Every structure is written in C-alpha cells, then in structure tokens.
C-alpha cells in the first residue's frame, strides 16, 4: 500500500501534478501537496459511491420485503384465515404505528450529537430481522395445530420488528445525510424510491402466483413471510459496510430531559404551524385506520378471489410511484403545504370508492374491481407522500438545528393514534365495514377543511424555552 502511494506521489512530481503524465508545471512541494489533496478527494468519491450502493441496496430490499410481508394486505388476510377477529386484524395497524412512532422521541435523543451512529443502526436492524426469521418455524408448527398461538406469534414478532426498526431509523437518516453527497441526495433518494416501487410491483405479481398455489392456504402465506424475511436480511450487511465519516460533535452526546421536555412543550404552545400540521396529520392517521379492512371487505363482502391480493399489492405500490412522480414536483413548485392538502384529498377518495364499490358490483363487477384497485392506489399515494408533505413541512418551519426535534415530537404525539385501528376493528365486529368507511370519510373531510386553512405565524425561536 505504501509502495503504491509512493509511486503515485513520484508520478505526480514527475508530471507536474497530473497523474496521467501530462506536463503542466514544475514539481515544487506545494504542487505535490495539492495533488495529494486531489487523491484524497478521489478516495472520498470512491467511499461515496460505495455508501450510495450500500444505502440503495438496503432501501430497495427493505421496500421489497415490506411488499411481500404486506402489513395492510397479506398479514390481515393471514390473520383472518387463521380465525382472527376484526379487532385482531385492527391490532395490526395499532402495532404498526405504535411500535414505530412511540420509541422515536427516545431514540432521537440518544442518537443526537454522536460522531458515529452506524452501530446504532445495524444492531437494531439485526434484531428486528431475526424476529421475522424466528416467526417462520413457529408459524409452520402452530398454524395447522394451534391457530390462536400462530396469531399471537405474528403480532408479537411484528411488534418487535417495528420497535427495533424504529430504534434504528433515526440513525439511518443520519447515515443518509453522511453517506449521500448533498448535491445529489435528492436525486439519489428518488432513484432508490423508484427502484423499490418497481421491485414491489414485481413482488405483487409473485404474491398472486404464490397465493394461487394448491395446498393449505396458510402454507402459501408462510412462504411469503419467508421470502420477506430473506429480503429484509440483505440490508444490514450492506449498512455495516458503510464507510461512515466522523460527524461533528457539539457539547454532550444528548441533552438532559430537564432541558428537552420544556422545549417540546414550548413548541406545542407557541408554534401554530406545528399545531396545524399535527391536527391535519392526526386526521390523516385516523382516516388511515380503515386501510387494513379494505382487503377483507373485498374478499368477504365482494367475494374477490384471494389470489387478487397480489393485484391490490401492486396497486398500492403503483400509488407510491405516482406519488413520487407527481407530488414531489408539486412540492417543489407549490410548497409542501399543498402536498398536505392533496394527501387529505386522497384520504377522502379511498373510502368514497370503497363505499361505491358494492353499488356498482351488481351491475358491472369489473367496475367494482376497478374501484377497489383505485382505493389501494389512493392509499398508496397518500402514504408515500408522507416525506414530501408532512416531513418537509416540519423541516421548513423548524428553527435551525431543531428539525429532528420537530419530527420526533410530531411522530411521538401521533403515536396516540395507535388505538384507532383497534377501534375500527371493533366497529367492524359490532356493526359493519360501511360504518368504518363512512366514519373514515367524515374524519378525512374534516382534516381536509383544516388543511385548507393553513396559518402563517413566525416559528418559535430555538431558545424560547430557556
């Protein structure tokens, strides 16, 4: 290594600072130092390319794994197949939101202001993926013998997966900031999202084929969980290979709760724009409580064949593609607040189409199926626009250096919505799917009305709490 470096430096000196050998200037010591800096910048560029690849593989494989796991399509159908009630199906949404949102305030405070965070990403990721691998043999043994135990295993594994993924997600975003060059970060993330969506569309086609296989239905779902776990396990190895630069450290690794909590309270009291966004986002979260029941409504009420679940998975991913292609540029031109308004329009559209599907099913069944496909497209667009709409708006209104605090506070407060899917499941059990969809539509319409009345006060100063 030292010999190669010496030859490179001698070549620089002989060529006047040009490693290609083209004569430029004489070889003085300052010129050699300048060329050494160029070599270091080339090494940094190689590191950047490696980090881009590692982050991209993790992003794409995680999205593909989620498509095979299907928290709003495949898992609800599996739990229903095992005999789970609508309340149990609704608990999936509770687990998904609660396990990912609630731990972030603590994780954010722990990760903040640390020079290196890679270990804080890899360790939780390995644990979360291991829980899914452990779920596979448990389901294989209990699904045909003790379905209630299989359901409990699914819920516990999914909760653990969400908690540990949440703990690693804060550090993951820090790695994105460090690993992707700022000048190309937006474009690279867009490419990653597009590749992930394309892979997930292919996953939807595979899901349809797997669910149509002969044999016990639970075994087909087990195969999908196994494939999902395999994709999830690819990412942590690539994350561990990232060449993480040292981050800037200012003061102690994390602020004490005595300073942290008063600042959080001052944001809620003083920043009207934060309160506006929180209200709209909570309305959006309540409107999303019906998402897990669209697939059950299609299968049980409209008698859609189970193998059509793959089509609905692909429709949701296609909604994500449309969101990136349409709502991203909209946010650049009109602002992220306008994207928030569009999200609420989509939240109104999904339950409206679900309520309309039975009305047209008797006359034109294909039209009813098309309406259901559009339900998943609208839901996919709304959910995929979270970063472009809600997160970007928080970053815009947050004082310098407090973007992470605003995001963590918003996510934690929205953790109060974890009981909404359980409530929706209870309503389905005691009443009907139509009641849940009608309530969802009312909440979404109210959220849209609030979204159209955006306040414009000045954000609270960063030191106001002190």
The better pLDDT of the pair 50, 347 is held by 347
Please choose, from the candidates 70, 75, 62, 65, the residue with its C-alpha nearest in 3D space to the C-alpha of residue 312: 70
Rounded-to-integer distance, Cα 294 and Cα 364, Å: 19
CB of 301 closer than 8 Å to CB of 365: no
Q: Quick one: pLDDT at residue 239?
A: 92
Q: Quick one: pLDDT at residue 253?
A: 54
The better pLDDT of the pair 162, 306 is held by 162
401 φψ region: left (φ > 0), alpha (ψ -120 to 50), beta (else): left
- Residue 28: band (very low, low, confident or very high) from pLDDT cuts 50, 70, 90: very low
Q: Across 9-13, 227-231, 241-245, 330-334, which has the greatest mean pLDDT?
A: 227-231
Averaged pLDDT, 162-175:
82
Please choose, from the candidates 128, 163, 115, the residue with its C-alpha nearest in 3D space to the C-alpha of residue 235: 128
Mean of all residue pLDDT scores within the chain? 79
Domain with CATH 1.20.1250.20 in the chain: 45-243, 255-466
Tokens of 406: 């605003």
- Residue 123: band (very low, low, confident or very high) from pLDDT cuts 50, 70, 90: very high
CB of 11 closer than 8 Å to CB of 20: no
Q: Quick one: pLDDT at residue 466?
A: 44
Q: Quick one: pLDDT at residue 173?
A: 72
The CATH code that applies to domain 255-466 is: 1.20.1250.20
Q: Map residue 298 onto helix, strand or coil.
A: helix
Averaged pLDDT, 267-281:
92
Please choose, from the candidates 245, 289, 331, 332, the residue with its C-alpha nearest in 3D space to the C-alpha of residue 428: 289
Averaged pLDDT, 446-451:
95
Q: pLDDT digits over 63-109, tens only?
A: 899 989 988 788 988 998 899 888 888 888 788 878 887 787 777 66
Least confident of 20-34, 105-119, 158-172, 355-369: 20-34
DSSP secondary structure string for all residues of 164-212: HHHHHHHHHHHHHHHHS-GGGHHHHHHHHHHHHHHHHHHHHHHHHHHHT
86 φψ region: left (φ > 0), alpha (ψ -120 to 50), beta (else): alpha
Q: Quick one: pLDDT at residue 118?
A: 86
DSSP secondary structure string for all residues of 97-115: HHHHHTTHHHHHHHHTT-S
Tokens of 345: 């329009």
Q: Map residue 246 onto helix, strand or coil.
A: coil
In percent, the amount of the chain with pLDDT more than 90 equals: 28
Q: CB atoms < 10 A from the CB of 300, how many?
A: 14
pTM comes to: 0.67
Burial class (CB in 10 A: 0-12, 13-18, 19+), 289: buried
Tokens of 187: 């474009």
Per DSSP, 431 falls in state: S
Q: Quick one: pLDDT at residue 378?
A: 94
Q: pLDDT digits over 124-163, tens only?
A: 999 999 999 999 999 999 999 999 999 999 999 999 999 9
Rounded-to-integer distance, Cα 336 and Cα 287, Å: 20
- Residue 226: band (very low, low, confident or very high) from pLDDT cuts 50, 70, 90: very high
Q: Quick one: pLDDT at residue 422?
A: 82
Rounded-to-integer distance, Cα 90 and Cα 71, Å: 11
Res. 41: pLDDT tops 90 = no
Helices (H), 288-364: 291-296, 309-322, 328-334, 336-361
Res. 27: pLDDT tops 60 = no
| Residues with Cβ within 8 Å of residue 169, at least 6 apart in sequence | 100, 104, 107
Res. 120: pLDDT tops 90 = no
Place of tokens 């359901």: 151
Tokens of 444: 């979404």
Tokens of 394: 């928080």
Averaged pLDDT, 266-291:
91
CB of 98 closer than 8 Å to CB of 422: no
Please choose, from the candidates 368, 250, 380, the residue with its C-alpha nearest in 3D space to the C-alpha of residue 315: 380
CATH-assigned architecture of domain 45-243? Up-down Bundle (1.20)
The better pLDDT of the pair 465, 366 is held by 366
Buried b (16+ CB within 10 A) or exposed e, 113-140: eeeebbebbbbbbbbbbbbbeebbebbe
Q: pLDDT digits over 357-408, tens only?
A: 988 877 777 788 889 999 999 998 898 888 778 877 877 787 765 666 777 7
């Amino acid at each position: 290594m030292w010999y190669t470096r010496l030859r490179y430096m001698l070549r620089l000196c002989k060529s006047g600072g040009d490693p290609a050998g083209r004569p430029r200037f004489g070889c003085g010591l300052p010129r050699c130092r300048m060329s050494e800096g160029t070599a270091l910048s080339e090494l940094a560029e190689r590191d950047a390319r490696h980090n881009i690849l590692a982050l991209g593989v993790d992003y794409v494989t995680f999205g593909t794994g989620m498509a095979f796991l299907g928290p709003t399509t495949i898992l609800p159908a599996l739990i229903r197949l095992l005999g789970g009630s609508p309340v149990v199906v609704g608990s999936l949404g509770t687990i998904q939101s609660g396990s990912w949102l609630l731990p972030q305030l603590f994780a954010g405070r722990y990760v903040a202001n640390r020079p290196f965070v890679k270990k804080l990403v890899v360790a939780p990721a390995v644990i979360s993926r291991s829980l899914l691998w452990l779920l596979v043999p448990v389901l294989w043994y209990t699904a045909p013998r003790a379905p209630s135990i299989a359901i409990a295993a699914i819920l516990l594994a999914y909760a653990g997966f969400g908690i540990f993924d949440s703990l690693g997600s804060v550090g993951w975003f820090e790695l994105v900031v460090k690993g992707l060059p700022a000048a190309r970060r937006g474009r690279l993330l867009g490419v990653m999202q597009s590749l992930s969506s394309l892979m997930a569309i292919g996953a939807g086609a595979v899901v349809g084929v797997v669910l149509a296989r002969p044999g016990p239905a639970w075994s087909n779902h087990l195969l999908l969980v196994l494939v999902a776990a395999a994709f999830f396990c690819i990412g942590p190895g690539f994350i561990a290979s990232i060449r993480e630069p040292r981050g800037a450290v200012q003061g102690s690794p994390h602020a004490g709760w005595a300073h942290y909590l008063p600042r959080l309270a001052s944001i809620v009291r003083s920043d009207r724009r934060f309160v506006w966004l929180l209200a709209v986002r909570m309305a959006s979260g309540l409107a999303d409580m019906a998402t897990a029941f669209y697939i059950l409504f299609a299968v049980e009420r409209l008698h859609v064949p189970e193998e059509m679940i793959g089509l609905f998975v692909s429709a949701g991913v296609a909604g994500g593609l449309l969101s990136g292609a349409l709502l991203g540029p909209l946010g650049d031109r009109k602002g992220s607040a306008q994207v928030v308004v569009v999200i609420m329009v989509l939240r109104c559209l999904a339950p409206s189409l679900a309520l309309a599907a039975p009305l047209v099913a008797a006359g034109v069944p294909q039209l009813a199926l098309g309406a259901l496909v559009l339900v998943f497209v609208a839901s996919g667009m709304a959910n995929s626009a979270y970063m472009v709409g809600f997160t970007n708006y928080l970053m815009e209104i947050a004082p310098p250096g407090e973007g992470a605090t605003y995001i963590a506070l918003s996510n934690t407060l929205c953790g109060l919505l974890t009981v909404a899917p359980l409530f929706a499941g209870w309503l389905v059990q005691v009443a009907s799917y139509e009641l849940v969809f009608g309530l969802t539509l009312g909440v979404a319409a109210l959220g849209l009305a609030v979204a159209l009345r955006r306040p414009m006060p000045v954000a609270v100063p960063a030191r106001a709490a002190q």
